[in-house]
Every structure is written in structure tokens, then in C-alpha cells.
Chain A
Amino acid sequence: MSALTIEGLKEILNEAAGEDDSFKAGQDILDTPFLELGFDSLALLETVALIKRRYGVGVGDDELADIETPRELLAKVNGDLAA
């Protein structure tokens, strides 16, 4: 399975929580905290559920609590994918 890219993550974010204008394709959101992107804990739970289905990588609830930015989420998912 190829790695999850930031653009791939954006698609998943939009699918999980609904599309709005808080970020666009091409825009750098790697270090923008999820809260600033309008993602509360439930939206993130829905996001990681989608990642689990697509990539087979699970993110535990306690791990999720420490993930604040897209960069951190990508590192966790791609680290597990590579392992």
C-alpha cells in the first residue's frame, strides 16, 4: 500500500467531516492544528475510521489524543504502513 499523502488526507478529511472552505487542494495545512481546520474530536474519530478502512492502519483513541496536526497524523499512519 502506498503512503498516505497530504492531498489524500485532505480528501479523507472532506469525506469524513464534510467539505467547506477551511482548506483547499494545494494549500499547505501540514502544521495547521486540526482544531483550527474545524475538526473536533468526533470529526477526527470519523477521519481515522476512514483511514482504517482504506489503509488498514488503526489509530487508537489514546494515540489520537496526542495528534494535533495533519503532519503528526501522516507520520503515525505512514510509520505503521512502512513497518
Chain B
Amino acid sequence: MTRAVVTGIGIASPNGLGPTAYWRATLHGEAAIKPITRFDSANYWAKIAGEVPGFEAGRHLQGRLLPQTDHMTRLTLVGTDWALRGAGVQPNDIPDTDIAVITAATAGGYEFGQRELQKLWHQGPEYVSAYQSFAWFYAVNTGQISIRHGTRGPGAVVVSEQAGGIDSIGHARRQLRKGVKLALTGGMDSSLCPWAWVAHQASGSLSRNNNPRRAYLPFDRDASGYVCGEGGAIMVLETPESAAERPGTRVYGEIVGYASTFDSRMPSREPGLKRAAELALRDAGMDASEIDVVFADAAGIPELDKAEAEAIKGIFGPFGVPVTAPKTMTGRLFAGGGSLDVASAILSIYWSAIPPTVNVENPVPEYEIDLVMNEARHGKVKAALVLGRGKGGFNSAMVVREYR
């Protein structure tokens, strides 16, 4: 079976730009949930978020791209550039039909869409940007990446909220098995604008606590919802044979297992997360005892935390595996979060360390999970399981392993 290795990682996270800065901050537990600065939150009850700081699109992208891109597309394009550079890939070195682009998004270009719709209402249709025709679509990041790098292989977009960040990488792996050499894949989301905020507040899932240290507490007795963040990760995924064509290429890790399930609407049926994890392990040909850490979906909503804890306990036994949720530092990044968790799992393997879950002080004892709290755990990590759930019943699981 064709193997799939990660050779480049581009990260835009509230606590770090680029894999090195992100990893340093994450291992140190640097939380980045703060009062919102991107728009005036005075009229909204939710007032905190994880914002990507210090990103100046004009320093990284040519002027021609700015009028036609939302913030989340700019993060995606720059993240892709970083991933390619890290992997030492010049897309022109590879036949254009041998490169796939598979991304995930949850909200599309919301901020761009809000601005143009406001022009439509206040000034009239002739004031709406022609670029509105694509800039706010979920699919735009895949299109813009392929245009920028001249790729003509398979292109696809997955929309399954947080699970999508995992699903995109799973689908990219499928494309490698179908014969492409390399895939640019991952997810990036940003919806920190008033129009999006109305939707976030209406979801019923946001924490009403505006204390950044007490708002998003997955698996804690005081769990009360989550905090929104922006960002994500884009990766270069390729076959080992493709990577070997560039001597000295660093291989961060291998994607060895993936599965997704969908929850039944029947309340009597158990949620599909456990089955997704079991199927991903089976896909990897691995036993649960070989997994050194679980990167949890960590919804921060008591009934969802309970379901996830039961799934983990059901597979690994009580306190059977370290569980962590570095997204407690950034907030939930939707599709970006799934991809960033996969990137974090790969960096855990590469750097032999498990990043901590921050702010959680009182995990629910009945959950019986070994939550990595407050401080990183250093030591060999050979394999990790990443879990992600998307609102509406999506469950995805991915197994990553050291490459050997």
C-alpha cells in the first residue's frame, strides 16, 4: 500500500506562526485566548477569542492577491508557502498533474462576505466586488493554492467542521494511493467578524465565561462551552518515494490510519467517535497499546466531553493513555483545529514531547482519563491518535506514527 509521509508543515495559530514558533509556545503552554481586537465586541456577550497575531498579509503575498482574498485564504496561502519551503519542494519540479490540493474549511471567507454584503445593502450591487464571486466560498482555498502553484492534479474541499481538518488529510492520502506524488492539504478557518459572531453566539456552544483562563475547560467540572479561534495548518503530504527524490528531506512522520463515521439521529445509538477511532487503528494495523498519546477533540461541552472520555476509556481502559488538548491555548479553530491537531501530533513524535492542556484544574473524576495538564511531558512518542468531531454528527480519527 502506498505510504503517506508529512515533509512540510505550515502553521498559523493564535500562539505562533510557523511550526517552530508554534511548537515552542505550545510546549510551554502559552495560552492565546484574549479579548477580541478584530472587531468591536461591545454589543456581543462573547468577548474573547484566539486571534492570530502579527500576520501582515502584504509582507507575504503579492498585491494582486489582496483584493481577492479573505483573511483565511491569506493565512492558507502563506501557510502553504511555508509548508512547501520546509519540504524543499518547488512545485515546478513535479509534474503539475501529480500534485493534489485538498483543503477543509468551515465558514469560508466570512469577513470578506460580510464586507461585500454590507456594500450590497448600503450602496447597491454595483459596489460589490467582482471577487465576491469566489472569495467567500468554502472551496476558495483549494482553488487559490492550485492557481498560485500551477497544480492541476485532483482538487477537493471537505466541509465537516472540526472533523474536516482531519478528513482533508485522509482524503489527500487517498489521492496518493490513486497515484499522485504529493498533496497540499489541511484546513484553515477564520470567522472573527460581527456577521460570524452572531452565528457563533447562536450556536449555543460558546462559553459564556469571558475570563480567558476559565472559559474553555474541556473535561473539567466547570466545562461551559468553547472559545472560537482562527488559524490552522497546511501540510505537504507525499509518498516516501517522492520525498526521496529530494535528498536530505526531513520526514516529520507518517499518516498510517484514518477513518470517519457519522452519528445516528437515533438517541439509543452510541456516538460514532469510538468507532471512528477503532476503524482508524484497524486501518493503521495497530493495537491501542501502541498509541502513546491521544489528541482529543475536547469540545468543552459536558455531554460531549463525557462521550469522548467514554470512547477513549472504552478503547484504552481507565487512565490507559495520555490525553491532551493543546487547543485549550488557542480556542477551537474548526477545520483548522483538526489539521493543527494532526500537525501537533506529528510534532510530538518529531520532538518527543506531549504538549499540555492548559487551564483545566479539576477534570471530572468519572471520566478516568490521564489528562496531560499544565506541563508538557517529555519522552519518546512513537504514535498518536487524533480525534475530531464536527457539529452535526461528524467524527474523524487519524493515527500518525514515526516514520521508519
Residue count of chain B within 8 Å CB distance of chain A: 13
Residue contact B63 to A19, C-beta cutoff 8 Å? yes
- Chain B residues with Cβ below 8 Å from A43 are 130
A42 at the interface (CB under 8 A from B): yes
Residue contact A53 to B126, C-beta cutoff 8 Å? yes
Q: Interface extent on A, as a size class?
A: 10 to 19
Q: State how many angstroms separate the Cβ of B333 from the closest Cβ of chain A.
A: 27
Q: How far is the CA of A2 from the CA of B64 in the complex (A)?
A: 28
A68 at the interface (CB under 8 A from B): no
Quick one: which of A1-47 are within 8 Å of B by CB?
14, 16-20, 38, 42-43, 45-46
Interface segment, B65-73, B137-145, B201-209?
Answer: B65-73
Q: How far is the CA of A16 from the CA of B68 in the complex (A)?
A: 9
- Chain B residues with Cβ below 8 Å from A18 are 62-68
- Chain B residues with Cβ below 8 Å from A53 are 126-127
Q: How far is the CA of A2 from the CA of B62 in the complex (A)?
A: 32
B210 at the interface (CB under 8 A from A): no
- Chain B residues with Cβ below 8 Å from A49 are 126-127, 130
Q: State how many angstroms separate the Cβ of B67 from the closest Cβ of chain A.
A: 5
Quick one: which of A33-83 are within 8 Å of B by CB?
38, 42-43, 45-46, 49, 52-53
What is the chain A residue whose CB lies nearest that of B65? A18
- Chain B residues with Cβ below 8 Å from A38 are 64
Residue contact A45 to B126, C-beta cutoff 8 Å? no
B131 at the interface (CB under 8 A from A): yes
Q: How far is the CA of A19 from the CA of B129 in the complex (A)?
A: 16
- Chain A residues with Cβ below 8 Å from B131 are 42, 46
B133 at the interface (CB under 8 A from A): yes
A46 CB contact (under 8 Å) in B63, B65, B66, B67: B67
Residue contact A42 to B130, C-beta cutoff 8 Å? yes
Q: State how many angstroms separate the Cβ of A40 from the closest Cβ of chain B.
A: 10
Q: State how many angstroms separate the Cβ of A45 from the closest Cβ of chain B.
A: 4
B62 CB contact (under 8 Å) in A14, A16, A20, A42: A20
Q: How far is the CA of A14 from the CA of B67 in the complex (A)?
A: 10
Q: How far is the CA of A38 from the CA of B67 in the complex (A)?
A: 14
What is the chain A residue whose CB lies nearest that of B61? A18
Quick one: which of B130-163 are within 8 Å of A by CB?
130-131, 133
Query: Could you name 8 residue pairs across A and B whose Cβ atoms are closer than 8 Å?
Result: A14-B63, A16-B67, A19-B63, A20-B62, A20-B64, A49-B127, A49-B130, A53-B126
Other 13 A-B pairs with CB < 8 A, given A18-B63, A18-B65, A42-B133: A14-B63, A16-B67, A17-B64, A18-B62, A20-B62, A20-B64, A42-B68, A43-B130, A46-B67, A46-B130, A49-B130, A53-B126, A53-B127
**Residues of B bordering A, CB below 8 Å:** 62-68, 126-127, 129-131, 133
